[in-house]
Structure 1
Amino acid sequence: MIATFVIVSIAVFLYVRETYSIEVVSVGVIVTLLLFFSIPNLNLVLPLGNSELLSGFAAPALIAIMALLVVGQGLFQTGALEGPINTINKALTTDPRKTLLIVFIGAFSVSMFMNNTPVVVMFIPILAAMASRVKTSTSRYMMPLSFLCILAGMTTLIGSSTNLLVNDVLQRTTDFSLSFFTQLVPGLVLAGIGALYIILAAPFLLPERKNMENELTDTGRQYIAQIQVTPEHPLVGVSPVAGLYTKLKNVTVRMIQRGEQSYLPPFDETLQAGDVLIVAATRQSLSKLLSSQPEYLRGMLNITGFDDGERETDSQESIVISEAVIAPGSRMIGRNIEQIGFRRQTKCLVLGIQRRSRMIRTRMLDIRLEAGDVLLVFGYDKDVRGLRNNRDVLLLDWSRTELPDIRKSITARCIFFATIALAAFGILPIETSALTGALAMILTGCLNIRQAIRALDMRIFLLIGAAFAMGLALEATGGANFIAQGVVATFMPYGNQILISAIFLIVALLTNVISNSATALLFSPIALSVSAQTGIDPIAMVLTVIFAANCCFATPIAYQTNLLVMGPGHYKFSDFARFGAPLILILWISFSLLSPVFFEL
């Protein structure tokens, strides 16, 4: 037992110091435990062999977590939330502050039913744009976004991976298990208290730092591009307002070509099928345009010679956008895009041309290229990467980014809601429902295999496997029972309420030093041992661990969403302690006072 305590303590120390990566420490922990427990005659309380120590990697909870990451990635890759996001951006013009509140409520609601990380990734650019609109620093919104998503994770079984892991320990150790909404009421109460603190304290405790980038989203380089209005295009019938086409956000129309006629601003023409718009826009504006409505993307992909029959077998390829520079001495110099046959040669489409020397007001396809011109290219990932071998252009590989294939967005939404419903109503176990949803995302083309594998975080996988092994080691050697006896002996004289409060505080402090998943797995068997010794409901004990393990607010390393918002919010390490530590204290006091109500102690 003492040796196990030493191994666990060293593991915690290495996780905190971060001298070695989480992957290396996790594998080191597993190897050490495998070697240690191979020693014969250890006189264990419970049998513990290699199969038991490695069982964490096959735990249903871990499988469910990995599958849910794939489902969340499917939503992200298809831009399934682009519709709601566009609605939010429109509402900003009328009531920015009310819309800001709605955005936070939306992030909270979504985080109740899916992994927090993709939610935060999707809402970071929204809040950055909104902060610019209301003329406030992003540092006022990024940390509240992370904290609210963490609080939302307390409310349902799949709201956080921690909840699934603790439930797995509960099912393995006892005859009890958590249902989808077991923790909903106490979780919502604690989340409501935490949200109230965030609203009241944010103006005083969060820094007001200027954005380093100064909102580069729409002040970057302008590309000359053209948009062809097809018969079913969303621009058909659109009329200008004060000479401008307001439906094209952050895109400036410089000329309309209608047959042999050309129209210059200010415009008075209602757009018709067959019109060609010559526009000036940044790369990000053009990317957002292609991600806004399926018709824009479908129109690009259906251009003759680009998405022909040979592409049917590659329907799951990623669609990317990148930049390429016309090389000195290129055969393309002095010729336009049509004369080069760029699409035929490369299977890529030129979305726009950028030339620093002057603003060009002519059809993009009529522009004769010069050395140094930057082409904004669009196509399937394989074809764009093929430009590396093209001697006429220099592919700026670092600029290559994937576009969400919003043609599959409705399918992705249906799969997501079906996955949640099957688990929420108890039709299927959560791991079965999640695996089914992940498979459906791949089979329907919402994700390809590479994107699905990329969604599987190896750090989480190895960390949870190592934490399982440490928890089992504590059980097998009697270490969990020893700690439980110590906690009971110290706090039991003061009553069950004080005992539960003490466990909550210990877990809440440790979860800010090491991973919340590792903390939950270490303390779940300890909490169940306390339950066995005191007669407290085991459900109450595991919920105590769940709520406390989710109190990861005081450090940026406590939870991955904290790390995600650290850069966009321009935070320092101390900012999390100043704003997060009082939140932990408030939640601890609230839980301690309300625990008799929650659990009928």
Structure 2
Amino acid sequence: MIEAPPPHAIAAMALTIVVFYLFVRNRISIEIVSLMAIAIIAVGLYFYPMPHTQPTDGLVLAFSGFGHYALITICALMVMGRGLVVTGALDPVARFLERVFKINLQLGMLLSLALALVLSMGVNNTPVLVLLIPIFVTLAARGALPASKTLMPLNASSLLGGLSTTIGTSTNILVVSIAVDLGMQPMGVFHFTPIVLAASLIALPYIWLVMPRMLGDNSPDKGVVRRWFVTRLRVPPTSNLNGRHFDEVVDMLPEEFRFEERPNGPFSTGQRLRVSGTHDALEDAIRVLQGQIAPGWVIDAIQREARENGGDIQVVEMVVTSDSRLIDRTLPTSGIADRFGVGVLGIHRPDRPLRFDEPQEVHGDMRIAEGDVLLVMGLSPALATFAQADSLLQLEGAREVPRRSKALLAATIMGASVGLASIGLLPIAIASLGGAILMFLTGCVKFDRVGRALSGQVIVLVAASIVIGRFVLESGAAGWLGQALAMGLQHLPPAGVLAAIMLFVTILTNFASNATAATVGTPIAFAIGAELGLPQEPLILAVLFGCNLCYATPIAYQTNMLIMAEGNYQFGDYVKTGVPLVLLMVVTLSVLLVTTYSM
């Protein structure tokens, strides 16, 4: 029979339960709940300090999460992940994936899942999903598998990849950091990768073949029509078109791109041919054909100014209003490039009732009309000036042009940081911090845009989770819970102990914060190991694995929410597909841990 827990332990457990409840209710934002938890610990321990401590010790504990090296590591990895996204370093992989999908849907799906798994092993899975989601939504619009049947399996595979390494998710870093604080030896980047890859051989067939069949077609009745822009393709001396005939290049073109006119003979330098396509298709065609859809001198001037001023080039859509001076003008006669230093990449003319006064073309160039949408490229100040001066309405959804000249550099920095940590030359905290600093110094990520790389919600949540975990540990709550759980687990075989711990943490992570579940579960598992005389490393790994089995609810992880709108998912979709996957992984990983550690 165990004794009653001390008062501070009771307070720690009560605070943890309240925080879990508030996270699940979602009535108050995660940031506010996290800050409230930190404040309660700070004030409570100041006026009612724990035995053998001073009031100021409670303040140190309450705010220790913000200076913890685990949080610094997480922020550095966010910055490096942002560098890969803004430089377009992952774009070639995405384009290759799209080509494979066109060959065979099932093969493309399998390759997509494998790709998401591998990329998420070294990069936080959030930027990976951000990159891949538009590809699957586009493929669904073109008649491939519905997005609702692909996005959830893709998310599950990326979570599986994040489970494979210590840097795959911020939760992994958190668990390993707390375990080291408790006295366990540090784990390398690929310390438990073989175990997870072995489990993946069982999980991937379910994710690939079964999960899509369990999901319905949640596509809306009428899809959103992507704007189709008309423009002129210019053939510069460096273009791949020079000397080729149309039939030689047609297979190189994206599906949503077409020539509205074609030359009688081979393409030649200086030609201006009318083409049309979606924004993405125009970008792909320009890259493949090495052509231009805006005057070369304008693009050069914009890029030169961006290098000199350190600004980001943006592409925005602007609607022509009724009092714009551009109405009835063509692009060559508008003087837009000369006056504002921006380039118009194309014009979209929306469907509208037949009009007898519809503007006619001049020498093959469209006259601009009210309601037309211009696709404009330039720096932010120039775009704002253009919109204001010519009475244009700028639409939401501006896109930054990737700084592709730094893509290889960003990939190299990320690879070097992960490599140095994986072979043990540097701790992950130092390697990732060094990589983030190099991202700043080389311009892959701009310091004034660091707010876009860092998630304030994640930062506050991780800081609060570290503090709650320390409070649970130092108050004696973890030891008391360990004794209580050990009494119930002492008659189970090692595989049963591991499965029980993993399932317990999994339930917490699916209905609350996985970071908080990690900080609470890690010291408990450590205490259970000491109580039952079992090796502590597999028990810690059971906690780490359980924290990543966040498939069963949309609130379990940020990427679960990311795909919810795009896939038009309901809460029941996560439960229906996630619970079987959780049970499959708990059983498989428990057996593999027992086998690996000879328990």
TM over 0.5: yes
1:337 aligns with 2:331: yes
1:321 aligns with 2:315: yes
Is 1:157–1:180's contact at 8 Å kept on the other side of the alignment?
yes
Residue matched to 1:198? 207
1:182 aligns with 2:191: yes
Q: Structure 2 vs 1, CA of residues 310 and 544 (structure 1 numbering), >3 Å: closer, same or farther?
A: closer
Alpha-carbon deviations, 1:147-185, whole Å to 9, x = none? 111111121111111111111111111041111111111
Q: Structure 2 vs 1, CA of residues 330 and 108 (structure 1 numbering), >3 Å: closer, same or farther?
A: same
Output the CA distance in 2 between the equivalents of 1:131 and 1:188.
29
Residue of 517, 525, 528 corresponding to 1:527: 525
Q: Match of 1:38, SS?
A: helix
Residue matched to 1:117? 126
Residue matched to 1:509? 507
Match runs of 1:58-457 below 5 Å: 58-132=67-141, 135-212=144-221, 214=223, 216=224, 219-241=225-247, 244=250, 246-247=252-253, 249-255=255-261, 265=262, 267-289=263-285, 292=287, 303=298, 306-307=301-302, 310-315=305-310, 317-356=311-350, 366-390=365-389, 392-457=390-455
Equivalent AA in structure 2 for residue 587 of structure 1: M
More deviation, 305-314/160-169: 305-314
Residue matched to 2:13? 5
Number of positions where the alignment pairs a residue of Structure 1 with one of Structure 2: 584
Residue matched to 1:23? 31
Superposition deviation, residue 504 in structure 1: 1.2
Q: Match of 1:398, SS?
A: coil
Residue matched to 2:40? 32
Superposition deviation, residue 21 in structure 1: 0.3
Residue matched to 2:492? 494
Alpha-carbon deviations, 1:15-74, whole Å to 9, x = none? 110010000000000001100010245326999422222221122221111111111111
Superposition deviation, residue 225 in structure 1: 0.9
Residue matched to 2:3? none
Q: Match of 2:510, SS?
A: coil
Q: Match of 1:83, SS?
A: helix
Output the CA distance in 2 between the equivalents of 1:524 and 1:294.
55
Output the CA distance in 1 between the equivalents of 2:227 and 2:460.
43
Q: Structure 2 vs 1, CA of residues 521 and 347 (structure 1 numbering), >3 Å: closer, same or farther?
A: same
Output the CA distance in 1 between the equivalents of 2:127 and 2:435.
16
Q: Structure 2 vs 1, CA of residues 235 and 518 (structure 1 numbering), >3 Å: closer, same or farther?
A: farther
More deviation, 417-426/281-290: 281-290
Superposition deviation, residue 517 in structure 1: 1.4
Output the CA distance in 1 between the equivalents of 2:313 and 2:186.
43
Q: Structure 2 vs 1, CA of residues 244 and 109 (structure 1 numbering), >3 Å: closer, same or farther?
A: closer
Q: Match of 1:536, SS?
A: coil
Superposition deviation, residue 310 in structure 1: 4.8
Q: Structure 2 vs 1, CA of residues 497 and 104 (structure 1 numbering), >3 Å: closer, same or farther?
A: closer
Output the CA distance in 1 between the equivalents of 2:288 and 2:513.
39
For structure 1, the 5+ residue unaligned runs are 256-264
Q: Structure 2 vs 1, CA of residues 440 and 224 (structure 1 numbering), >3 Å: closer, same or farther?
A: same
Alpha-carbon deviations, 1:64-122, whole Å to 9, x = none? 11111111111111211221222232334433432322122111111111101111111
Is 1:113–1:159's contact at 8 Å kept on the other side of the alignment?
yes
Equivalent AA in structure 1 for residue 471 of structure 2: A
Q: Structure 2 vs 1, CA of residues 17 and 44 (structure 1 numbering), >3 Å: closer, same or farther?
A: farther
Equivalent AA in structure 2 for residue 52 of structure 1: L
Output the CA distance in 2 between the equivalents of 1:178 and 1:283.
46
Is 1:96–1:130's contact at 8 Å kept on the other side of the alignment?
no
Equivalent AA in structure 2 for residue 373 of structure 1: D
Equivalent AA in structure 1 for residue 277 of structure 2: A
Output the CA distance in 2 between the equivalents of 1:424 and 1:363.
62
More deviation, 529-538/23-32: 529-538
More deviation, 562-571/366-375: 366-375
Q: Match of 1:426, SS?
A: coil
Output the CA distance in 1 between the equivalents of 2:299 and 2:20.
59
Is 2:325–2:391's contact at 8 Å kept on the other side of the alignment?
no
Output the CA distance in 1 between the equivalents of 2:586 and 2:215.
21
Q: Match of 1:553, SS?
A: coil
Is 2:80–2:435's contact at 8 Å kept on the other side of the alignment?
yes
Q: Match of 2:103, SS?
A: coil
Q: Structure 2 vs 1, CA of residues 551 and 351 (structure 1 numbering), >3 Å: closer, same or farther?
A: same
Residue of 464, 467, 470 corresponding to 1:469: 467
Is 1:243–1:268's contact at 8 Å kept on the other side of the alignment?
no
Alpha-carbon deviations, 1:204-261, whole Å to 9, x = none? 42223334553x4xx5333221222222234334432299574354222123xxxxxx
More deviation, 125-134/53-62: 125-134
Is 1:108–1:148's contact at 8 Å kept on the other side of the alignment?
yes
- TM-score, normalised by the number of residues in structure 1: 0.90
Alpha-carbon deviations, 1:129-148, whole Å to 9, x = none? 34455643221111101111
Q: Structure 2 vs 1, CA of residues 469 and 501 (structure 1 numbering), >3 Å: closer, same or farther?
A: same
Output the CA distance in 2 between the equivalents of 1:300 and 1:441.
32
Output the CA distance in 1 between the equivalents of 2:300 and 2:194.
57
Is 2:294–2:345's contact at 8 Å kept on the other side of the alignment?
no
Output the CA distance in 2 between the equivalents of 1:92 and 1:495.
46
Superposition deviation, residue 199 in structure 1: 2.9
1:485 aligns with 2:483: yes
Q: Structure 2 vs 1, CA of residues 142 and 203 (structure 1 numbering), >3 Å: closer, same or farther?
A: closer
For structure 2, the 5+ residue unaligned runs are 1-8, 353-357
Equivalent AA in structure 1 for residue 515 of structure 2: S
Q: Match of 1:556, SS?
A: coil
- TM-score, normalised by the number of residues in structure 2: 0.90
Residue matched to 2:4? none
Alpha-carbon deviations, 1:407-431, whole Å to 9, x = none? 3222222222122212111222112
Residue matched to 2:6? none
1:42 aligns with 2:38: no
Output the CA distance in 1 between the equivalents of 2:295 and 2:171.
43
Equivalent AA in structure 2 for residue 322 of structure 1: V
Q: Structure 2 vs 1, CA of residues 453 and 237 (structure 1 numbering), >3 Å: closer, same or farther?
A: farther
Output the CA distance in 2 between the equivalents of 1:304 and 1:579.
48
Q: Match of 1:480, SS?
A: helix
Q: Match of 2:265, SS?
A: coil
Match runs of 1:580-591 below 5 Å: 580-591=578-589
Superposition deviation, residue 454 in structure 1: 0.9
RMSD: 2.7
Q: Match of 1:567, SS?
A: helix
Is 1:423–1:429's contact at 8 Å kept on the other side of the alignment?
yes
Residue of 539, 553, 573 corresponding to 1:555: 553
Output the CA distance in 2 between the equivalents of 1:368 and 1:120.
40
Is 2:94–2:135's contact at 8 Å kept on the other side of the alignment?
yes
Q: Structure 2 vs 1, CA of residues 593 and 244 (structure 1 numbering), >3 Å: closer, same or farther?
A: closer
More deviation, 234-243/381-390: 234-243
More deviation, 559-568/41-50: 41-50
Q: Match of 1:269, SS?
A: coil
Output the CA distance in 2 between the equivalents of 1:361 and 1:93.
37
